[in-house]
């Protein structure tokens, strides 16, 4: 399902710069060596939560914008939300188009020509307006992004009929292990199904071309198809788990206490990958006399107080 990849790395030289690139050299992962990487706590630390594209076809724009946000935060030590709308405009004006969304290469050319401004200077809208343009101030802010010194190199060129080879897969993993996300375009299921937070694979007739996500980690697991899973940020999927465990890690926690019904919807594997143990509360609701009919649990403390008055605190203490 792999289609195209890029990554963000730090370059060394006369001055430090942040690259949209993959390091071609470096030791390969040793055969049989299991490894993992997870950049989600860094995104959480810098306040870079995953944003939603809505009904627009702007997944690639969100991916490149998110990667640039990460690169800027890691290079300068502070975060700033950047404008998806500006980058979308920059790609269009550079290539003479009026389309919503674009290929990675088009977006990069737009960034090279015009940069990218803060989100507040050209906020994202629910609907695409091909006539919308940034103001003079936003354009000036956008050009200042060139000071980041970004460059680009492909890990794998676009070819929906051919997946990554072993060397390219190892390079993607090395990039993530070094602490940089990888932008990727994929053949994507027409009807995505998730098993414990893992996207279910499906045959070629059941996929579309395509969808872009940001790879922010991986876990080697010989039990999984293909030998492991990638961790992604997806602008087209609202996943509460992607907010909860990074917050837990951000504040130094390694245990998340969830309600018993969380078993029905929480992707516990994601928490385990992030080093967070999930404990489900097995609450035994106390029974107390109510005014009408059979006892009805989980009616809130207000019901308890109105029914039992001063006995309420002792009844609460009996619950476990």
User: What's residue 265's pLDDT?
Assistant: 65
Residue 40: strand, helix, or coil:
helix
User: What's residue 302's pLDDT?
Assistant: 92
Q: Which CATH number fits domain 2-239: 3.20.20.70, 3.60.70.12, 3.90.70.10, 3.20.20.150?
A: 3.90.70.10
User: What's residue 34's pLDDT?
Assistant: 57
Q: What residue ranges of the chain have pLDDT lower than 70?
A: 1-34, 238-243, 264-265, 267, 269-270, 273, 319-320
User: What's residue 123's pLDDT?
Assistant: 96
Task: Please tell me the distance from the alpha carbon of residue 5 to that of residue 181, in angstroms, as a whole number.
Answer: 10
Q: Which residue has the tokens 């306040």?
A: 47
CA dist 206 to 158, 189, 192, Å?
Answer: 20, 6, 10
Domain ranges of the chain: 2-239
Number of Cβ within a 10 Å radius of residue 185: 24
User: What's residue 133's pLDDT?
Assistant: 96
Task: Please tell me the distance from the alpha carbon of residue 32 to that of residue 227, in angstroms, as a whole number.
Answer: 10
pTM for the whole structure? 0.71
């Amino acid at each position: 399902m792999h289609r195209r990849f890029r990554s963000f790395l730090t370059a060394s030289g006369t001055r430090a710069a942040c690259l949209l690139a993959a390091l071609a050299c470096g030791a390969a992962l040793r055969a049989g060596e299991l490894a993992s990487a997870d950049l989600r706590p860094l995104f959480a630390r810098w306040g870079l939560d995953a944003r939603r594209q809505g009904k627009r076809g702007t997944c690639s724009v969100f991916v490149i914008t998110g990667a640039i946000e990460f690169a800027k935060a890691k290079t300068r030590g502070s975060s700033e939300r950047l404008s998806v709308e500006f980058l979308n405009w920059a790609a269009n004006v550079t290539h003479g188009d009026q389309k919503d969304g674009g290929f990675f290469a088009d977006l990069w050319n737009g960034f090279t020509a015009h940069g990218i401004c803060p989100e507040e200077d050209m906020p994202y809208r629910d609907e695409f307006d091909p006539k919308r343009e940034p103001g003079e101030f936003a354009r000036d802010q956008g050009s200042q992004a060139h000071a980041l010194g970004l460059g680009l190199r492909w890990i794998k060129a676009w070819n929906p009929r051919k997946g990554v080879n072993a060397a390219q897969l190892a390079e993607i993993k090395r990039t993530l292990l070094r602490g940089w996300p990888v932008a990727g375009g994929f053949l994507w299921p027409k009807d995505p199904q998730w098993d414990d937070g893992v996207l279910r694979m499906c045959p070629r007739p059941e996929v579309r071309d395509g969808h872009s996500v940001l790879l922010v980690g991986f876990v080697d697991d010989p039990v999984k198809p293909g030998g492991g899973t990638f961790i992604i940020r997806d602008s087209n999927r609202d996943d509460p788990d992607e907010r909860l465990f990074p917050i837990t890690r951000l504040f130094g926690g390694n245990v998340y206490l969830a309600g018993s019904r969380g078993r029905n919807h929480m992707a516990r594997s994601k928490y385990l990958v992030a080093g967070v143990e999930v404990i489900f509360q097995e609450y035994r609701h106390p029974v107390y006399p109510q005014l009408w009919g059979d006892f009805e649990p989980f009616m809130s403390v207000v019901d308890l107080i109105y029914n039992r008055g001063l006995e309420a605190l002792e009844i609460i203490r009996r619950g476990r």
